């Protein structure tokens, strides 16, 4: 009698059904995006349990991200009344951690071993270099970190590393010392988690035998992104090498898609798929060819794009859903305008089409791209959540930079002081800081002011730090926000620090993005010279940001419109925040305020890398420009373009119903407005599936051709050109001369009724919006709103 049909299997197609109900043995499921690979994997676990073919303890399932692991557990609990908590479902790192905690003695670790993140790891290496007088010019700590991580990924201990010259021998010696130090302190880094648990299995026959017996079923999702060591780890759990031949015990099911391999930079090896088939004598290979996720316009685009890759294992995807909406392509005049368009489109979808915000994802190639989009969402009060990364102003490197800026603004800010006093490291240890804090407590002053009371080496390091900040403050007096931030990034050593770091590229881009944030802020909030030019809409009418959200009358002249502007002008003295002070307030508000509450319906922002395996009704992919996607770094790497194309394929295939692609003519990158060409990948998409949305009026249609306009105003007007035309899709406005601000200019002596005599350092803005930075003999430097502060000229 045939077994009763299970509701578990009701909605599977024949290939999926075959995969879910395979008898024991090894299998590779190789299939394209959205074909149900993850669904098959999860359903198979449920089916094995339901039919008594496995116990919860007998299953080990590896997924790629914590989010994916959680989702799998949630789906399983929904399918079966089983206690999933005891099951081994997780990421490689998560499972290794579990293994090492369970067998810490055999692994030679204390039960409570601590895990070092990348930052901690680097500090540990530096400490060690100091202790052993390593020449850090020659052996740069960050490069040592890179070297050590690379060795571990390859499964090599110090003794295994080839040493052909004295430099190589020295590096290995340091690797050895680093290991001893970690061991002494009972800490492990990420690479160590993986390597140590691999060795635990390899070197302990009883433990390995135990787990091999226990895990009758091993299932691996996103197999195309496993690296060499991860594959070796899986083999330890699956069986033993006997007389040169691998003899697996449990059943391994691997699912993957070679077209979605996007982690080569972390050592991922698509070759693991072929190795798996050979070494495990995999007899069952199942292809799933029906896509259940997307309409055919979306799928056709993905298929056409990926067909341009040469190294493919080859598979097809079809869908039974109709063509659906065309893929919409938008060309923006600027990154700001692109972000604004996304936000407008999303509001429209939510309002008119009843789309839930959490079903909308905005994907980008680099983390730094999120900043402009976040600001646009923030200004329009659209809740959003950033996945697989922090929101821009919450990122560690941005917080460090902001702390330096706060210290420039206010030397007494102890929190900021402590945040960066030893970052980048300056040899100021915990003991010195303890001394300093005691001194400050005793004298009832700030840390900054207590520095002069500390003597000895600690004292001189602290004094050097404080002097550095004070000099920078002095030097940046009267300068633009942009100049202040740029100098701070260099002088603090932050840029240099992250430039040299193994995974630092992203952080450097974020720091540079901070300059862009300041530029836009200056413009939007009416600070700075750029405020002079009026942003215009396509009818030549003055416009401010998000007019709809502010309920503004578009016909009103800009200066009459309520600027959301800088907070608080003191009505007695006219004292106001400096541009820097106002920017810092803005950053604090934006960091703290708009993050969607847990469970709140919010738009999802993430990098393409973080979107792997996920799906959304509506997907926006922005910044599809040469240099960004494909990323400029990929151009010089072998296979780089193919990897970028796979990234784009992953991004496109996240969409169920609607897909939007966009690129921009100009973009602020590395603190400069760049003219960007649209990505080559557009040429690889089928024209029949696309619909080009033309902006209501070409941004530059009414004036000189774009290139002319660009060169006419060139670099000298770069900030202005970029900001105005960009943000508002208006014609470029030629640089204007600043009208004299209330007869003041830098260098003039003035008198203020409360603050007395002072000297003007800088003037910003015009008319009612004009401010002056004035250095008063007795009250220090202040920013004054000229419309309010009654200053008289002294000659
Ligand atoms: P990716 O490569 O992006 O990880 P995948 O191959 O893992 O994709 P799934 O996420 O498992 O694909 O499935 C994609 C979507 O299709 C999901 O919403 C899933 O529920 C749905 N789906 C899968 N199989 C079927 C089916 N037989 N009937 C209806 N819907 C299905
Ligand atoms: Mg999947």
Q: For ligand 1, is residue 38 a contact (CB within 6 Å)?
A: yes
Q: Of 222, 486, 643, 726, which is the active-site residue?
A: 222
Active site residue 37: yes
- 31 in a known ligand binding site: yes
Pairing of strands 771-776, 756-764: antiparallel
Length of the chain: 795
In angstroms, what is the span from residue 572 Cα to ligand 1's centroid? Answer: 65
Say if strands 616-621 and 360-364 run parallel, antiparallel, or are unpaired.
parallel
Nearest ligand by distance to the CA of 33: 1
Q: Helix, strand, coil proportions of the chain in percent (round to 5)? A: 50, 15, 35
Assigned token pair, 679: 């990505």
Nearest CA to ligand 1 atom 2: 33
How remote is the C-alpha of 495 from its chain's centroid?
Answer: 17
- Name which residue sits closest to atom 30 of ligand 1, judged by CA: 292
- Bridge partners of 363, per DSSP, are 606, 621
pTM of structure? 0.70
228 is in an annotated binding site: no
Would you list the DSSP string of 495-539? Answer: HHHHHTSTT-HHHHHHHHHHHHHHHHHHHHTT-SGGGGSPPB-TT
Residue 301 burial (10 A CB sphere; 0-12, 13-18, 19+): buried
Q: 307-338 burial string, b = 16+ CB within 10 Å, else e? A: eebeeeeeeebebebeebbbbbbbbbbbbbbb
In this structure, which residue's CA is closest to atom 23 in ligand 1? 36
Q: Which ligand is nearest to the CA of 293?
A: 1
Residues in contact with 205: Cβ distance below 8 Å, sequence separation at least 6, in sequence order:
none
Let me know: does 259 contact 309? Beta carbons within 8 Å: yes
Per-10-residue mean pLDDT, the chain, length 795: 66 94 94 94 94 92 80 85 78 86 87 67 82 90 91 93 92 94 81 94 95 95 93 95 88 94 80 92 92 96 94 84 95 94 96 94 92 90 79 80 90 84 90 89 88 90 95 91 94 94 83 85 51 32 31 27 38 71 73 51 90 94 95 87 96 98 88 86 96 60 33 30 31 35 78 86 72 82 78 81
Q: Whose CA is nearest to atom 24 of ligand 1?
A: 36
Q: Is 324 annotated as a binding residue?
A: no
**Burial letters for 665-694: b for 16+ Cβ neighbours within 10 Å, e otherwise?**
bbbbbebebbebebbbbbebbeeebbeeee
Atom of ligand 1 nearest to the CA of 292: 16
444 is in an annotated binding site: no
Which atom of ligand 1 is the closest one to the Cα of 12?
Answer: 27
Q: What is the pLDDT of residue 389?
A: 60
Tell me whether residue 634 is annotated as binding.
no
Active site residue 38: yes
What atom in ligand 1 is closest to the CA of residue 35? 6
> Residue 658: beta bridge partners?
618
The catalytically annotated residue of 269, 482, 654, 782 is 654
- 476, 358 contact by CB (below 8 A): no
Q: What is the Å distance from ligand 1's center to 291 Cα?
A: 7
Choosing from 15, 221, 519, 644, the catalytic residue is 221
Ligand nearest to the CA of 302: 1
ipTM: 0.99
Distance 293 CA to ligand 1 centre (A): 6
Which ligand 1 atom is the nearest neighbour of the CA of 653?
A: 3
User: Is 38 known as a binding-site position?
Assistant: yes
Residue 409 tokens, joined: 């603004």
Q: From CA 95, how far away is CA 97, in angstroms rounded?
A: 5
Distance 64 CA to ligand 2 centre (A): 10
Q: Verify whether residue 792 is a known catalytic residue.
A: no
Q: How far is the CA of 292 from the centre of ligand 1 (A)?
A: 6
Inter-residue contact 668 to 722 (CB < 8 Å) = yes
* Preceding amide of 441 cis, omega within 30: no
Q: Please report which residue ranges of 353-411 form alpha helices under DSSP H.
A: 370-379, 396-409
d(CA 209, CA 247): 13
Cα 63 to averaged position of ligand 2 atoms, centre (Å): 9
Question: Between helices 481-491 and 456-475, what is the axis angle to 10°?
Answer: 160
- Whether ligand 1 lies within 6 angstroms of the CB of 258 is answered as no
- Asked if residues 255 and 68 have their Cβ atoms less than 8 Å apart, the reply is no
pLDDT at 720: 31
Q: Residue 565: what are its φ and ψ, rounded to 5°? A: 10, 180
Beta partners for residue 248, in sequence order: 239
The answer to whether 664 touches 338, Cβ cutoff 8 Å, is yes
**Residue of 38, 544, 604, 773 marked active site:** 38
Contact (CB, 8 A) for 65 and 223: no
Instruction: Give the sign of the dihedral formed by CA 501, CA 506, CA 510, CA 512.
Output: positive
Active site residue 457: no
Does ligand 1 have an atom closer than 6 angstroms to the CB of 36?
A: yes
Phi, psi dihedrals of residue 333, rounded to the nearest 5°: -80, -25
Kindly name the residue from 16, 37, 257, 658 that is annotated as catalytic.
Answer: 37
Ligand 1 centre and the CA of 260: distance in Å? 15
**654 assigned to active site:** yes
Give the integer Cα–Cα distance in Å for 382 and 548: 13
Tokens (6 digits) for 456: 């000895």
Q: Catalytic annotation on 553?
A: no
Please give the distance, rounded to the nearest whole angstrom, from the Cα atom of residue 641 to the centre of ligand 2. Answer: 23
Query: In terms of DSSP H, where are the helices of 80-186?
Result: 92-102, 104-107, 118-131, 141-153, 166-185
163 labelled binding-site residue:
no
Return the ∠ at Cα 320 (arms to 317 and 324), rounded to 5°.
100
Backbone angles phi, psi at 360, to 5 degrees: -115, 125
**Which position has the token pair 């390593």?**
134
CA of 653 to the centre of ligand 2 (A): 11
The answer, yes or no, to whether any atom of ligand 1 lies below 6 A from the CB of 256, is: no
Task: Say yes or no: CB of residue 34 within 6 Å of ligand 1.
Answer: yes
Instruction: For ligand 1, pick from 10, 17, 38, 75 the residue to mutate: most ligand atoms within 8 Å of CB.
Output: 38
């Amino acid at each position: 009698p045939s077994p009763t049909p299970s509701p578990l299997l009701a909605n599977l197609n024949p290939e999926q059904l075959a995969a879910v109900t395979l008898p024991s043995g090894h299998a590779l499921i190789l299939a394209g995006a959205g074909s149900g690979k993850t669904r098959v994997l999860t359903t198979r676990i449920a089916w094995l349990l339901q039919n008594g073919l496995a116990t919860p303890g007998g299953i080990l399932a590896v997924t790629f991200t914590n989010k994916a692991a959680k989702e799998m557990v949630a789906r399983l609990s929904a399918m079966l009344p089983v206690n999933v908590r005891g099951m081994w479902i997780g990421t490689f790192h998560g499972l290794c951690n579990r293994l090492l905690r369970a067998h810490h003695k055999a692994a030679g670790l204390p039960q409570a071993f601590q895990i070092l993140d990348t930052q901690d790891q680097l500090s540990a290496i530096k400490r060690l270099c100091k202790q052993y007088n390593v020449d850090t010019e020659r052996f740069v700590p960050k490069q040592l970190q890179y070297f050590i991580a690379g060795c571990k990924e390859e499964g090599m201990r110090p003794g295994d590393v080839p040493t052909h010259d004295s430099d190589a021998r020295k590096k290995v010696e340091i690797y050895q010392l680093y290991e001893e130090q970690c061991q002494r302190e009972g800490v492990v880094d990420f690479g160590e988690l993986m390597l140590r648990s691999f060795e635990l299995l390899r070197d302990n026959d009883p433990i390995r035998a135990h787990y091999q017996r226990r895990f009758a079923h091993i299932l691996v999702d996103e197999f195309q992104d496993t690296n060499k060591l991860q594959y070796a780890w899986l083999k330890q759990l699956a069986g033993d090498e006997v007389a040169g031949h691998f003899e697996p015990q449990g059943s391994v099911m691997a699912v993957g898609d070679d077209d979605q391999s996007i982690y080569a930079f972390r050592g991922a090896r698509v070759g693991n798929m072929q190795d798996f088939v050979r070494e495990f004598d995999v007899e069952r290979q199942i292809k799933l060819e029906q896509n259940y996720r997307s309409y055919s316009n979306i799928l056709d685009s993905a298929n056409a794009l990926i067909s341009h890759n040469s190294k493919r294992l080859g598979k097809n995807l079809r869908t039974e859903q109709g063509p659906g909406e065309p893929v919409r392509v938008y060309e923006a005049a600027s990154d700001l305008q692109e972000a604004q368009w996304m936000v407008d489109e999303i509001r429209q979808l939510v309002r008119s089409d009843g789309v839930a915000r959490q079903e909308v994802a905005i994907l980008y190639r680099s983390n730094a791209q999120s900043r402009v989009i976040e600001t646009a969402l923030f200004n329009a009060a659209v809740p959003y959540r950033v996945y697989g990364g922090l929101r821009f102003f919450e990122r560690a490197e941005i917080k460090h930079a902001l702390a330096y800026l706060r210290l420039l603004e206010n030397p007494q800010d102890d929190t900021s002081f402590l945040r960066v006093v030893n970052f980048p490291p300056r040899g100021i240890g915990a003991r010195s800081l303890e001394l300093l804090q005691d001194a400050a407590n005793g004298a009832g002053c700030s840390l900054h002011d207590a520095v002069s009371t500390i003597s000895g080496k600690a004292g001189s390091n602290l004094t050097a730090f404080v002097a550095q900040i004070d000099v920078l403050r002095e030097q940046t007096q009267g300068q633009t926000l942009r100049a202040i931030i740029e100098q701070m990034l260099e002088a603090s050593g932050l840029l240099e620090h992250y430039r040299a770091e193994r995974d630092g590229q992203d952080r450097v881009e974020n720091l540079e993005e901070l300059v862009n944030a300041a530029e836009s802020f200056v413009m939007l909030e009416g600070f700075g010279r750029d405020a002079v030019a009026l942003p215009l809409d396509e009818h030549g009418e003055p416009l401010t940001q998000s007019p709809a959200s502010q309920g503004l009358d578009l016909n009103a002249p800009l200066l009459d419109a309520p600027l959301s502007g800088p907070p608080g002008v003191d009505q007695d003295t006219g004292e106001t925040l400096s541009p820097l002070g106002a920017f810092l307030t803005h950053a604090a508000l934006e960091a703290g305020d708009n993050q969607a509450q847990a469970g709140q319906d919010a738009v999802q922002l993430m990098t393409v890398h973080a979107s792997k395996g996920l799906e959304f009704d509506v997907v926006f992919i922005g910044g599809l420009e040469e240099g960004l996607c494909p990323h400029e770094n990929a151009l010089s790497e072998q296979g780089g373009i193919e990897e970028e194309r796979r990234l784009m394929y992953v991004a496109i295939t996240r969409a169920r119903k609607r897909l939007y692609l966009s690129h921009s003519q100009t973009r602020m990158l590395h603190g400069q407005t760049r003219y960007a060409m649209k990505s080559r990948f557009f040429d690889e998409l089928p024209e029949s599936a696309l619909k080009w949305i033309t902006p209501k009026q070409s941004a530059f249609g009414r004036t000189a051709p774009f290139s002319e306009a660009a060169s006419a105003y060139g670099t000298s007007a770069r900030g202005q050109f970029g900001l105005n035309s960009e943000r508002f899709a208006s014609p470029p406005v030629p640089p204007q001369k600043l009208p004299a601000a209330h007869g003041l200019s830098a260098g003039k002596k003035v008198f203020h009724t409360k603050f007395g005599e002072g000297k003007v350092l800088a003037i910003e803005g015009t008319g009612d919006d004009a401010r002056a930075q004035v250095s008063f003999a007795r009250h220090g430097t202040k920013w004054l709103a000229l419309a309010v502060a009654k200053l008289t000229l002294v000659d």
